[in-house]
Amino acid sequence: MKNLKNALLLKQLYQLQELGYKFIDNLNIDNSQEKKDNILPNSINKLNTIISKCQLCQLSKNSKSPILSMGNPQSDIIFIGNKPTILDSNNSSIFSGNRGDMLRNIIQNVLELDDFYLANIIKCYPPNGREVLANEVYSCKSYILKEIEIIKPKIIITLGEDTYSYLTNKDINFQDIEGTIIKYSNYYIMPIVDISTVLKNPSYKKKLYMNMLKLKEFIKNM
């Protein structure tokens, strides 16, 4: 019941924001107040130690363990997914299986990048892969914000509609922004389709490939 109340409260706050009301938005990627109050360590290793023991929300009860990010923390590019899959949870590894293989294949063979960083906004697998709740996003989001703050990527690639919304708090029609490179304060964000969607429906492949070529061009000129 408390979770439902939190989710409804958050929804009402967003609606008020859309009507023009201003409030301190703790979910904002660039909120300076949040950064000031953020007491998480400025080290990926130390951050991972904290995440590994995290029990901030009820997802810790279901998940075997949080699925940590992977890759080079010096990288200019972060790929961010929404939440771990059951396979990720079973393997204790982010972007496992076909989804991860396809993503890595694109990164290495289309983008021709060796250095990259893979992360999820939500670190724990939700029961039966259900949609995450607003309070769970709220609880977990400070970790990805800290990762972004530490890594300082030049571009962030968000995978899937929810990921972009969770990260930016923007409720935008995904079709309008998919494949566009959006300046967001100190960062650029490119929202793309989730790889699992492409695996389920190969008709999305062509658009994904075209977007990756656009990204490759952007990276070349960074």
Binding status of residue 56 toward ligand SF4 by CB under 6 A = yes
Among 29, 47, 57, 144, binds ligand SF4 (CB under 6 A): 57
Question: What letter does residue 107 receive in the DSSP assignment?
Answer: I
The Cα angle at residue 89 between residues 34 and 78, in degrees rounded to 5? 45
Nearer to ligand SF4, 125 or 188 (CB): 125
CA dist., res. 47 & res. 52, Å (int): 9
Nearer to ligand SF4, 144 or 212 (CB): 144
Binding status of residue 69 toward ligand SF4 by CB under 6 A = no
Nearer to ligand SF4, 93 or 104 (CB): 93
| Residue 95 and residue 103 in contact, taking contact as beta carbons nearer than 8 Å | yes
CA dist., res. 140 & res. 25, Å (int): 15
Q: How far is the CB of 54 from ligand SF4 (least distance, A)?
A: 3
CA dist., res. 163 & res. 147, Å (int): 15
Residues 125-164 touching ligand SF4, rule: CB under 6 A, are: 136, 139-140
Task: Name the token pair of 173.
Answer: 């029609």
Binding status of residue 123 toward ligand SF4 by CB under 6 A = yes
- From the list 177, 162, 172, the residue with the least C-alpha distance to 130 is 162
Q: How far is the CB of 123 from ligand SF4 (least distance, A)?
A: 4
Give the phi and the psi of residue 191 in degrees, each rounded to 5: -80, 130
Q: How far is the CB of 125 from ligand SF4 (least distance, A)?
A: 9
Binding status of residue 124 toward ligand SF4 by CB under 6 A = yes
Helix ranges (H only) for 92-129 are 97-105
Binding status of residue 59 toward ligand SF4 by CB under 6 A = yes
Interface residues with ligand SF4 (CB under 6 A)?
51, 54-57, 59-60, 66, 122-124, 136, 139-140
